Amino acid sequence: MANLNDHMGRPIVAVTGIGVVTSLGVGKADNWAALTAGVSGIHPITRFPVDHLNTRISGMVDFLPSSSKGASLLTYDLAEIAAQEAVAEAGLDSGDFGGPLFLASPPVELDWSERFSLYNSDNHDIGAERLLRVARGLKGLDVFETTQFGSIADRLADRFGTRGLPITLSTACASGATSIQLGVEAIRRGECDRALSIGADGSA
């Protein structure tokens, strides 16, 4: 019988599914085909003005329906699409994952289009005073839910049926690796048999 523990007696951790969405396409197959064909996913930034920025190019994912709808919605879609591919490859139920979720994502804030919409909904005062007054009068929850740091992970947890409180983290360039390590450690501690680790960033 195979030994399922490492030299320290901890459960051996294996990656059983991988999903990817990049500026080259959706899925491992499309990305690999583009890479091996020498295709570059770097192109001019079109999602926001770059007139006074030093950097005007990026590896944007600008071909999804949510690509023009702000960082929060795009980050969710990137995470959901990649997770769906990974869970399917692992042969697991996409609605009842049965393990914890660790999501690496950027801090979320109102997209500029939403800020202008709020600002233009009133003509009293100017600048920050107007925005603050308009925000105090908001009754809907949509704006609040899309800008709370943990909202994307909450939606993903519902979508995939993960267990426990979903973890959202942001450790700059190390975020994706951190989410993987948190999953590894949870399995090694015997807290779960599987973990869903995702890194997604729709801020550009």
Query: Which domains, ranges and CATH numbers included, belong to the chain?
Result: 1-108+150-204 (3.40.47.10), 109-147 (no CATH)
pLDDT at 145 over 80: no
Residue 195's pLDDT is what? 98
* pLDDT tens sequence across 79-97: 999 999 999 999 999 999 9
* pLDDT tens sequence across 40-74: 999 998 877 889 999 999 999 999 998 888 888 89
Question: How far apart, in whole angstroms, are the C-alpha atoms of residue 14 and residue 4?
Answer: 10
Alpha-helix runs per DSSP H in 37-126: 71-90, 112-120
Max CA pair span of the chain? 75
| 166 HSE (CA, 13 A, CB side) | 25
Among candidate residues 69, 72, 47, 59, the one with its CA nearest the CA of residue 22: 59
Amino acid at 185: E
Tell me how long the chain is: 204
- Torsion over CA of 108, 111, 115 and 120, rounded to 10 degrees? -160
